[in-house]
Amino acid sequence: MKLSPEEQKLLERMKPGLYSSQGFLGADSRRPSVIIDTDRSTLEGLDVAAEDIAAKLREIMDVASGAFGTPVEIPDVGHAVFYESMGRIPCPFGDGVHRKGEVRLTTPDDVEFRFTPLSIHMIEHHGFFQGHGSRYRLEPDTIAAALGLV
């Protein structure tokens, strides 16, 4: 099926180079809308909202960014470190610009998750967890479990 002009523009913004050197899709060849629908179905099966995941990630980011690069303990989740980066990055969906920086969250089982302010925004406002193989891809079921939401 042919992409609409809006979908084509979104796809171009998500590819490596325009907004991000690595892009937002990784090795995933699916359309962003298909990625979003698949992840939405996963969350519905868990009875978890994308907004709940985003809220928990935002709480973790707030605590970690306030520690200025020092690892902080996140009760019942693990520990997190915020790595500051200079600059801002636009949302490929076209609805804002977000500060750069990255949180590395490590669970007690030594599973590491990486996310950014933009990651949180895209999950909360677009239900977009990024494509498979993307640096900041968060598998909805895995992150929901790690955050204690299931």
Q: Over the stretch 59-71, which tens digit does the pLDDT of each residue have?
A: 999 999 999 889 9
Backbone angles phi, psi at 138, to 5 degrees: -115, 120
What are the boundaries of each domain within the chain? 5-146
Cβ atoms 13, 123 nearer than 8 A: no
- pTM attached to this predicted model: 0.94
Under the banding of pLDDT at 50, 70 and 90, the label for residue 110 is very high
Nearby residues of 130 by Cβ (< 8 Å), 6 or more positions away: 24, 25, 26, 35, 119, 122, 136, 137, 138
Please compute the mean of the pLDDT values over residues 82-107 and round it to a whole number.
95
Residue 77 pLDDT > 90, yes or no?
A: yes
Please compute the mean of the pLDDT values over residues 27-39 and round it to a whole number.
95
Instruction: Fill in the DSSP letter of residue 33.
Output: H
pLDDT for the residue numbered 27:
93
Please compute the mean of the pLDDT values over residues 20-46 and round it to a whole number.
95
Nearby residues of 96 by Cβ (< 8 Å), 6 or more positions away: 90, 121
Backbone angles phi, psi at 124, to 5 degrees: -65, -45
Which residue in the block uniquely carries the two structure tokens 């303990």? 73
DSSP string, 68-119: TTS-EEETTTEEEEEEEEEEEEE-TTSS-EEEEEEEEEE-TT--EEEE-HHH
